């Protein structure tokens, strides 16, 4: 078994090394207007919310929600990604507080945040349930998780099946290659989230052009006192 810290270090190192090339084709850069239109509905203004973007990468939700007027703190463990994210924020003229840290222990005040974002994060996590427990602890009563992900490496595709992005660490990531909507909902249900609402149908233009597999989702969910049946609204 690969130690947890070794898994995370491998993932952080990979994304630090690939930050620049990733940023050049990142969906939140290439399709910023489409993402802004959808996130404006999922996290409406007013009021301005206190937001944490976990695993922000080169800006993911942070840049767009800050531009919409929310107060945003963005966390990532890959220093190379944060360098690029800071440059993006400066270029856009938005105010985002960037923090280098572990999404499972971001050293942020508990029960102090209205929205926690996790976009394209969960497929890189060694322990998704631990991360959801962290998110529950960060949210204020009435707060929401904004969760977006998709299927990035389809096992039916020979290129996806043979992918070795993180080397031996791939097998330590439960959702490596991506996560289907149904699996995401089941994961949320098991970890005490409900009131699931879908937002991906609002995209006028698909924000992940081919050859990326075209299955993706954007949803919000709220902690519930007793895990049980998930309530889903499209």
Closest CA to 184 of 170, 172, 198, 171: 198
The predicted pLDDT at position 136 comes to: 98
The predicted pLDDT at position 82 comes to: 97
pLDDT tens sequence across 156-210:
655 544 455 777 788 899 998 899 999 999 999 999 999 999 999 999 999 998 7
Whole-structure pTM value: 0.92
Sign for the CA dihedral angle at 43, 146, 108, 82 comes to: negative
The predicted pLDDT at position 228 comes to: 46
The predicted pLDDT at position 140 comes to: 97
Under DSSP, is residue 99 helix (H, G, I), strand (E, B) or coil?
Answer: strand
């Amino acid at each position: 078994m690969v130690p947890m810290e070794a898994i995370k270090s491998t993932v952080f190192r990979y994304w630090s090394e690939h930050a620049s090339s990733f940023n050049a084709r990142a969906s939140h850069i290439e399709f910023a207007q489409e993402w802004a239109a959808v996130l404006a509905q999922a996290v409406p203004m007013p009021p301005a919310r206190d937001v944490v973007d976990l695993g922000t990468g080169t800006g993911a939700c942070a840049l767009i929600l800050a531009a919409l007027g929310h107060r945003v703190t963005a966390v990532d463990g890959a220093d190379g990604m944060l360098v690029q994210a800071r440059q993006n924020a400066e270029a856009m003229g938005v105010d985002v507080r960037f923090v280098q840290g572990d999404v499972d222990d971001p050293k942020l005040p508990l029960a102090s945040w209205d929205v926690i974002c996790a976009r394209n994060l969960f497929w890189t996590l060694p322990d998704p349930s631990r991360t959801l427990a962290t998110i529950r602890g960060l949210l204020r009563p009435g707060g929401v998780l904004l969760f977006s992900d998709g299927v990035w490496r389809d096992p039916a595709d020979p290129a996806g099946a043979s992918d070795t992005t993180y080397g031996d660490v791939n097998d330590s990531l439960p959702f490596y290659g991506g996560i289907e909507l149904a699996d995401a909902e089941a994961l949320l249900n098991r970890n005490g989230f409900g009131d699931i609402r879908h937002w991906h149908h609002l995209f006028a233009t698909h924000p992940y052009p081919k050859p990326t597999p075209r299955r993706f989702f954007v949803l919000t969910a709220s902690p519930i006192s007793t895990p049980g049946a998930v309530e889903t609204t499209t």
